[in-house]
Amino acid sequence: MLTVENLKTHFKVGFDKTARAVDGISFTLEAGKTLAMVGESGCGKSQTALSLMRLVAENGYHPSGKMLMEGRDLFSLEEDEMRSIRGNDIAMIFQEPMTSLNPLYRIGNQLEEPLRLHRQMQKGPARQTAIELLDQVGIPDPERRIDTFPHELSGGMKQRVMIAMALACEPKILIADEPTTALDVTIQAQVLRLMSDLQKKKGMAILLITHDMGIVNQMADTVCIMYAGKIVEQGSRQQVFSQMGHPYTRRLLDSIPKSGDAPYLLNTIPGLVPPATEYGDACRFADRCEYVFDDCRKAEPQAVQLEAGHHVACLLHDSDNPFPKLEKDERKRAPAKNIKEDNLISIRNVKTWFPVHKGVFRRIANYVKAVDNIDLDIKRGSTVALVGESGCGKTTLGESILRLNRQVQGKILFDGKPVLDLESKALKEMRQHMQIVFQDPYGSLSPRMRVIDIVGEGLKIHQPQLTDVELRRRIDAVLEEVGLHASVADRYPHEFSGGQRQRISIARALILQPEFLVLDEPTSALDVSVQAQVLNLLRDLQSRRGLTYLFITHNLNVVEYIADWVAIMYLGRIVEYATVRDLFANPRHPYTRSLLEAVPSLEERIPFKPIVGDVPSPLNPPPGCHFHPRCPIYLAEAEGSPLQIQCKTTYPDETPLDSGYTRCHALKLT
């Protein structure tokens, strides 16, 4: 279907620099097959996709290369001919659904556009086809949703609209650029299942760009590992996963948290991907490779065939230096935690309801019950993971504990002191001891402030008596503690990578020497390699400082690695609470089981099992058990059975477990 030969995509940068984003790659894509392109941010994956669509920026150009679609050279086509191919024969799902849809146009207008442009449909048939497409991608009530604006849809629904737009003209090739990065594990399973089903029905080829090796294992037929503009390893999924030939491939898989990794520090990849303007003529991975030898810095490795269809660009395969796989007993053990018996945080009957005002007089018509009657204890020195889909109230609960929301009701004790009863002066004093690391390392740091001002701001507020010399000494010390050199203090956030920005965010939270940190999705925006560095840092800091964490996430691999206890949250309430060992060994609530089943496996290839439907609105939660419209146990029951009636009418009480509790009528009956 598609043959790419020696493709190069370079960019003019400034007066005298060239960024070699894609620097001579070759691959083929077969009809009905999926090719996964894997690598860290900055390796050239997205630029490869944009090159295939001929959508590179104005300062980009192609020094060499061929792109043949069914024998037709895409580079030789005029722009009008290429426009007829885009969206029609080759379609693309862009990485960020939040910004890829036009906020000023209704969903229907945007879906109908490719149908009317490429298939010359009239308005009536185009609208009907658009409704059918929304139904195909699993959007409920498509006749109503087609007239909504993008901001009225959840992230998962926006991504499915993007897929519907890409599939509108039944393309021969679908390019999916990180199609699930911003999605919960449950929505991710729905999206991947949908792509797989449509591929089987229509026989289209898929180019899947991702850094999630679990998704690669579930979806891909062939795999290209990309590093610094080059493909360093290429082969079938079985070949790459069972006989990894490149040190970079091995390190990528080693950096992913897996079952049994909790006692150890993760095997990280030191350093960063080099800038595209600074590629040399030697092995580009040499500075980060543990097996490097002299020849690696002298010559660029050429692809070596290990077996039919499996190629690796690494000089180790031309030398007598085979590299062994790191065994568990060779790995560095994680520092021990010092978990106390007393609770640092205790919350009882906490509610955070946001009023909804309507009418001229702005009367309260309803409440968004973001957090709805929660009890939770967090032991000193421990990590409690708060897990659930988007919209379940996880971040709101974290902000409520820190009293960052005015609508909080109930009882919150921090080290025995009632947080909700504190006056402003006492609350300001307490804020030194409880801090938050926000989800987005790009949006949470002011671009107009230097690192020294960002990190030191808390000290200036809470300890104004410090001299400039003492202030700088404290800032330098905390930057060194999170793995950054003190010399970076005078730089601005845009000069750092995502992982480095997250370290700055952690330094800002740590400088006041808090006891408690709320970590709100601190690794969701990061590559797996950078994620491993941040997780190791958090483990080390917790051990040395005796920190207590509330770790908000939907990444269950990370939960199993870093947490001691897990609270599963659904529509403002905790439905299961247990130790991490008990919860992963024997999940009791059907929602917990559904979350675990939706995680892509690295070990075996199993069908995706997405949960039915989406999270209901917290404005109007379902009566009875909030999960019952999506619950596999409820849906399997005979209509009108005692269990069904109970699930529809009564919210379940706590059922004690060995190390916690769950809330499920079915469990009580058994």
CATH number at residue 551: 3.40.50.300
**Highest mean pLDDT out of 323-327, 605-609, 657-661:** 657-661
pLDDT value at position 322?
56
* Co-location of 267 and 349 in the same domain: no
Considering the domain architecture, whether residues 240 and 296 belong to the same structural domain is answered as yes
**In a shared domain, residues 125 and 251:** no
325 pLDDT above the threshold of 60 = no
Tell me what the mean pLDDT of segment 233-249 comes to.
92
80 lies in some domain = yes
Q: Which amino acid is at 158?
A: K
- 649-655's contacts with Cβ under 8 Å and 24+ in sequence apart are 649/623, 649/624, 650/624, 650/625, 651/573, 651/624, 651/625, 651/626, 652/625, 655/588
Taking only the tens place, the pLDDT of each residue in 167-177 is: 888 899 999 98
Question: Is the confidence at residue 10, as pLDDT, over 90?
Answer: yes
**Cα(514)–Cα(403) distance, integer angstroms:** 15
* pLDDT digits 0-9 by tens, 506-561: 999 999 999 999 999 888 777 888 889 889 999 999 999 999 999 999 889 999 99
pLDDT in tens, 346-369: 999 999 999 988 888 888 888 889
Question: Looking at the domain assignment, is residue 627 inside a domain?
Answer: no
621 domain residue, yes or no:
no
Query: At which of 558, 575, 592 does a domain end?
Result: 575
Residue whose C-alpha is closest to residue 552's, from 427, 446, 400, 443? 400
At 319 the pLDDT is 62
Q: What is the pLDDT of residues 369-378, one digit of tens each?
A: 999 999 999 9
Predicted confidence at residue 669, as pLDDT, reads: 61
What is the pLDDT at residue 202? 84
Lowest mean pLDDT among 75-89, 490-504, 557-571, 646-660: 490-504
Which has the minimum average pLDDT: 135-149, 450-464, 607-621?
607-621
Does residue 68 sit within a domain?
A: yes
| CA atoms of 190 and 641, how far apart (whole Å) | 29
Question: Among 77-91, 236-250, 492-506, which is the least confidently predicted range?
Answer: 492-506
Q: Could you give the 3-state DSSP secondary structure of residue 147?
A: coil
Same-domain pairing of 50 and 113: no
- 658 or 561: which leads in pLDDT: 561
pLDDT digits 0-9 by tens, 437-476: 987 777 889 999 999 999 999 999 999 999 999 999 999 9
Same domain for 210 and 280? yes
pLDDT, position 670:
54
Domain residue limits at 180: 2-103+149-318
Quick one: which of 519, 513, 605, 589 has its CA closest to 559? Answer: 519
Chain segment 397-433, per-residue pLDDT in tens: 999 999 998 889 999 999 999 999 999 899 999 999 9
pLDDT, average across residues 94-110: 85
Q: Judge whether residue 326 has pLDDT over 50.
A: no
| pLDDT, greater one: 608 or 132 | 132
Domain boundary among the residues 114, 148, 182 is at: 148
Question: Same structural domain for residues 125 and 38?
Answer: no
Q: Average pLDDT for residues 472-493, to the nearest whole number?
A: 91
- Whether residues 303 and 452 share a domain: the answer is no
Q: Is the dihedral of CA 572, 576, 579, 582 positive or negative?
A: negative
Least confident among 23-37, 219-233, 435-449: 435-449
Query: Strand order of the sheet with strand 363-379?
Result: 363-379, 343-358, 408-414, 417-418
User: Is 606 a domain residue?
Assistant: no
| Tally of domains in the chain | 3
Query: Which pLDDT does position 280 carry in this prediction?
Result: 86
Q: Is residue 551 part of a domain?
A: yes
Each as own residue / partner, the long-range contacts of residues 275-282 (CB below 8 Å, 24 or more positions apart, any chain) are: 275/19, 275/42, 276/11, 276/19, 276/20, 276/21, 276/42, 276/44, 276/228, 276/229, 277/13, 277/17, 277/18, 277/19, 277/20, 279/20, 279/23, 279/228, 279/229
User: Are 24 and 144 in a shared domain?
Assistant: no
Q: pLDDT tens digit string along 179-204?
A: 877 677 887 888 788 888 889 888 89
In which band, very low, low, confident or very high, does the pLDDT at 207 lie, cut at 50, 70 and 90? very high
**Same domain assignment for residues 442 and 424:** yes
Same domain (yes/no): 395, 491: yes
Residue 323: the pLDDT is 56
Task: Specify whether 167 is located in the same domain as 303.
Answer: yes
**Residue at a domain's end among 148, 179, 206:** 148
Evaluate whether residue 406 is within a structural domain: yes
Same domain, 93 and 55: yes
Average pLDDT, the chain: 89
